[in-house]
Structure 1
Amino acid sequence: MIEELAHDPQSGAPLSSVKNYPGPEVGEGLADVQTQAYRTGVRTPEQHPLVEWSGTREGTLTNGELVSAQRGLLGYFRRTHRNVRDDPDPSMDSTAALALKRLKAEAPRALDSFVWYALAERLAAKGYWAAWMLDHVIARCPHPTQRVDGEVVGRCGSRLKFRPGVGKLEGVCAKCPHEHGAVDEALVEYIGDIYRASFDEEMEARLL
């Protein structure tokens, strides 16, 4: 994840409040958004007892990523779980770990935002209170932006802004509001696709 929810994409560790300014030469050849990040400051991961820490992350420069590793999202989940709840449930961590393994196996390129929503749905289906997770994710636009052989391999990923709809607020792509429009239904459909691909309920029932 990035912006106000940024964490180390490999471990899920929090990032330092102090920014580093390595100079524009470090950003040469990088995408514009990465180059800009280096110019405005980059942070480093800070070791945390709730994440699976690797010494190789020490001193790494990052402002987070839109797609984190499985271990990164799990570390973020564990930290957030304990920040939100006075009585965290250890079994919820274990269930989340198994669910993330399946989600990342089926949708390795899916943005953290979409995986997080699918994870919340899975935990709720398993009987856990997961509503708190909705306050710790940034809703993003799922509009397809790149296809290869008919398969969608890229999503917009812009933050959503919300405008009054019929009897509710509707999410609209902040970057391309006119081209992408309201994306609520597309978001629900895409997260549902990820969920169904990761958790075959009929097969699970046969195994019980």
Structure 2
Amino acid sequence: MIGNDAFCPDTGAPLTDSEHYDERGRRYRAVTDGSLAGNRGGLLTNGRVESSYEGLLAHFRRCHQRHHEDDDVLYRRGALALRRLKRAADGRQTADRHVWLALAHRLREYDHEVAWMYDHVTIRCPDCHGRLAFVAIRDGPVLGRCGTNCDGLGGDRLEAIRSLLASLYAAAFDEETPSPEQFLQI
């Protein structure tokens, strides 16, 4: 996952705060936890838009442990749901943040408390992965506009994200497509 909670996309190991630069001046961070990184301890990365199942699962467990005690039932359900979501994801759905948000929805369906999951995801434009600018309309909805205006229209990207999450959820769990309004309640 990219953003504030970036981690190694292969192992889920957290990244250092210190930055390293390559010969072209690109900024990278190193993996901090050698036990998670295995023989990839020297890997420099900023995370990726799409991580491996193992990387995202390790990140899920580590983030949960920051907020709560270990929960084996949650971890088993989360692992199964995550595997199904990763297998079903296609195209733009494969981004970690989309899988993460669909996972949060699935775990909420099992009555798990998942508010902590929203602290560990940055909602980004589904097309260019740029940051969103949130605009509250008086007596109306919150809009998430692409900060780079990649589509040239400046429209609300939250509706596209909600539809994307609903279709991913339906594909992963062989259900009718849920209402997009059920996702991303800001």
**Shorter-normalised TM range:** 0.7 to 0.9
Q: Counterpart of 2:52 in structure 1: which amino acid?
A: A
Between the aligned partners of 2:71 and 2:38, the Cα distance in structure 1 is 28
Tell me the CA shift for residue 201 of structure 1.
4.2
Find the structure with the greater CA-based Rg: 1
3-state DSSP of counterpart to 1:134 = helix
Please say if 1:161 is aligned against 2:128.
Answer: no
- Equivalent residues in 2 for 1:51-66, closer than 5 Å: 53-66=36-49
Counterpart among 45, 52, 72 of residue 69 in structure 1: 52
Q: In the alignment, is the contact (CA less than 8 A) between 2:34 and 2:41 conserved in 1?
A: no
- Equivalent residues in 2 for 1:67-146, closer than 5 Å: 67-85=50-68, 87-107=69-89, 109=91, 110-142=94-126
Q: Counterpart of 2:30 in structure 1: which amino acid?
A: T
Question: Which residue number in structure 1 is paired with residue 4 of structure 2?
Answer: 4
3-state DSSP of counterpart to 2:44 = coil
Counterpart among 26, 35, 41 of residue 27 in structure 2: 41
Identity rate, percent: 39
Tell me the CA shift for residue 40 of structure 1.
4.4
Question: Which residue number in structure 1 is paired with residue 181 of structure 2?
Answer: none
Between the aligned partners of 1:43 and 1:185, the Cα distance in structure 2 is 33
Question: Any gaps of 5 or more consecutive residues in structure 2?
Answer: 177-186
Q: 1:22 to 1:184 in 2, by over 3 A?
A: closer
Between the aligned partners of 2:56 and 2:46, the Cα distance in structure 1 is 15
Paired residues, number: 172
TM-score (norm 1): 0.76
Q: In the alignment, is the contact (CA less than 8 A) between 1:111 and 1:157 conserved in 2?
A: no
Between the aligned partners of 1:91 and 1:117, the Cα distance in structure 2 is 19
Between the aligned partners of 2:131 and 2:34, the Cα distance in structure 1 is 28
Tell me the CA shift for residue 123 of structure 1.
0.5
Counterpart among 133, 144, 166 of residue 171 in structure 1: 144
Q: 1:48 to 1:167 in 2, by over 3 A?
A: farther
3-state DSSP of counterpart to 2:32 = coil
TM-score (norm 2): 0.84
Between the aligned partners of 1:137 and 1:9, the Cα distance in structure 2 is 15
Q: Counterpart of 1:41 in structure 2: which amino acid?
A: R
Tell me the CA shift for residue 162 of structure 1.
0.3
Between the aligned partners of 2:134 and 2:19, the Cα distance in structure 1 is 31
CA root-mean-square deviation = 1.9
